[in-house]
């Protein structure tokens, strides 16, 4: 028998003001608790099943906030001051080619995507706020949406060709800011690089902003459940690519520009030791990297062969 029924029986027998009732207050039966919990679950499900117009209006609110107010200065720069030393020490982060990044003006950073840490790691390359797209599912929780929006993220509805997100990225670039784009469209697990989508090519042609190819390696092994493990993270930055501005971009032209950008990303990826991109065929075995020990050994062998040749010439 549930405790709630026992308390109710004692209250009816001894009166509402009896000591027993005061010491043991009435508790709702188990089925009432289950019913209340079910109502809360139904309320949450009803919020998730809102009409598309209401959801799109909420997403547009986050995009408008990004355009009108930008990042939260206190949140962004405070978190950056804490995160950069942590990345440099805990992840032994190396940033190669930072001198290629323009310090001002519109800028597109095109990178591969392996981990949720990629936007934050890439953001350490420049000394100004960066903006990036994040899937709309991350904006369903209010506290998480506020945090991401304050750090420069704006929502994108993946898989449906979200034109509003592209317009937001174009307006951010028109304001002279920096946008991070992941041409793969989603995180790609360990293995070769994924197939790029032509959105980055469209942005490059429609805005005329320089595109900087970037490769990130090591972030895929950082997270294991809720644990953040110490793994070596490296980034390599290529020289900016510039394309002419086109008013009406055709899919073929956008795809050609995307392939050019992705080829540079793949080159940086291979330089860092990553496996080849999808669709690439390796021409013969990979050449070993020339380390100082290998160069010194080759020099000794060459000098030794020259000395033996001189001795043979003398004896002859």
Q: What is the pLDDT of residue 161?
A: 62
What pLDDT score was predicted for residue 22?
Answer: 46
CA 181 vs. chain centroid, Å, equals: 9
| pLDDT on residue 52 | 62
Q: What is the pLDDT of residues 162-182, one digit of tens each?
A: 788 899 999 999 999 999 999
Whether pTM exceeds 0.75? no
Do residue 126 and residue 33 come from a single domain? Answer: no
Q: Please indicate, yes or no, whether residues 39 and 136 belong to a single structural domain of this protein.
A: no
**Is the Cβ–Cβ distance between 164 and 136 less than 8 Å?**
no
9 lies in the same domain as 58: no
My answer on whether 172 and 99 are in the same domain is: yes
In terms of residue numbers, what domain contains 119?
Answer: 52-271
How far is residue 72 CA from its own chain's centroid?
19
Contact between residue 130 and residue 108 where contact means Cβ atoms under 8 Å apart: no
Residue 308 lies inside a defined structural domain of this protein: no
**What local confidence, expressed as pLDDT, does residue 278 receive?**
52
Residue 247 is assigned to a structural domain of this protein = yes
The tens digit of pLDDT for each residue in 254-293 reads 999 999 999 999 999 999 998 765 544 443 334 444 444 4
**Residue pointed to by tokens 């004896």:** 315
pLDDT value of position 311: 52
Which residues in the chain show pLDDT less than 50? Answer: 1-7, 9-11, 13-28, 30-31, 33-34, 36-37, 39-47, 279-303, 305-306, 308-309, 312-313, 316
Measure Cα distances from 251 to 14, 40, 85, 109 in Å: 82, 47, 42, 21
Tell whether 148 and 236 lie within a shared domain.
Answer: yes
What confidence score (pLDDT) does residue 189 get?
A: 76
Say yes or no: 186 and 252 in one domain.
Answer: yes
Q: Which residues, 6 or more positions from 273, have their beta carbon under 8 angstroms from its beta carbon?
A: 217
Q: What is the reported pLDDT for 186?
A: 84
Q: Domain for residue 122, yes or no?
A: yes
| Residue 279 belongs to some domain of the structure | no
Residues 130 and 37 in one domain: no
Counted domains in the chain: 2
Check if the beta carbon of residue 71 is closer than 8 Å to that of residue 146. no
Query: Do the domain assignments include residue 196?
Result: yes
**Domain presence at residue 303:** no
What is the reported pLDDT for 100?
95
Tokens 């289950």 sit at which residue?
Answer: 34
Tell me, yes or no, whether 121 and 239 share the same domain: yes
Model pLDDT, residue 11: 46
Q: Are residues 42 and 59 in the same domain?
A: no
Based on the domain organization, do 40 and 67 belong to the same domain? no
Provide the pLDDT for residue 59: 79
Let me know whether 198 and 70 are in one domain: yes
pLDDT at 49: 60
313: in domain: no
User: 254: domain CATH number?
Assistant: 3.40.1130.10
Residue 169: CA atoms inside 13 Å, Cβ hemisphere, count? 29
SS3 assignment, position 29: coil
Are 22 and 64 contained in the same domain? no
Kindly state the greatest CA–CA separation across the chain: 126
Identify which of 200, 209, 177, 214 has the alpha carbon closest to the alpha carbon of residue 71.
Answer: 177
| 82 lies in some domain | yes
Position 9 scores a pLDDT of 47
């Amino acid at each position: 028998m549930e405790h709630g029924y026992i308390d109710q029986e004692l209250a009816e027998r001894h009166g509402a003001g009896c000591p027993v009732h005061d010491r043991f207050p009435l508790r709702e039966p188990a089925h009432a608790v289950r019913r209340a919990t079910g109502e809360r679950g139904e309320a949450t499900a009803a919020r998730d099943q809102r009409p598309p117009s209401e959801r799109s209006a909420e997403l547009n609110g986050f995009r408008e906030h990004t355009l009108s107010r930008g990042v939260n200065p206190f949140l962004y720069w405070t978190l950056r001051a804490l995160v950069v030393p942590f990345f440099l020490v805990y992840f032994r982060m190396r940033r190669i080619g930072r001198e290629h990044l323009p310090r001002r003006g519109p800028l597109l950073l095109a990178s591969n995507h392996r981990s949720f840490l990629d936007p934050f790691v890439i953001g350490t390359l420049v000394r100004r706020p960066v903006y990036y797209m994040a899937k709309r599912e991350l904006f369903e929780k209010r506290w998480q949406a506020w945090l991401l929006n304050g750090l420069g993220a704006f929502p994108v509805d993946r898989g449906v060709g979200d034109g509003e997100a592209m317009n937001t990225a174009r307006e951010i670039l028109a304001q002279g800011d920096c946008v991070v784009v992941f041409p793969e469209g989603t995180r790609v697990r360990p293995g070769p690089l994924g197939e790029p989508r032509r959105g980055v090519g469209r942005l490059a042609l429609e805005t005329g902003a320089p595109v900087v190819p970037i490769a990130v390696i090591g972030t895929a092994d950082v997270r294991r459940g809720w644990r953040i493990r110490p793994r070596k993270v490296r980034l390599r930055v290529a020289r900016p690519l510039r394309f002419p501005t086109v008013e009406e971009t055709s899919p073929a032209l956008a795809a050609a520009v995307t392939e050019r950008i992705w080829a540079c990303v793949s080159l940086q990826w291979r330089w860092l030791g990553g496996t080849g991109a999808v669709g690439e065929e390796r021409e013969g075995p990979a050449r070993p990297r020339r380390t100082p020990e290998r160069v010194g050994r080759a020099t000794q062998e060459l000098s030794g062969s020259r000395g033996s040749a001189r001795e043979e010439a003398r004896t002859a």
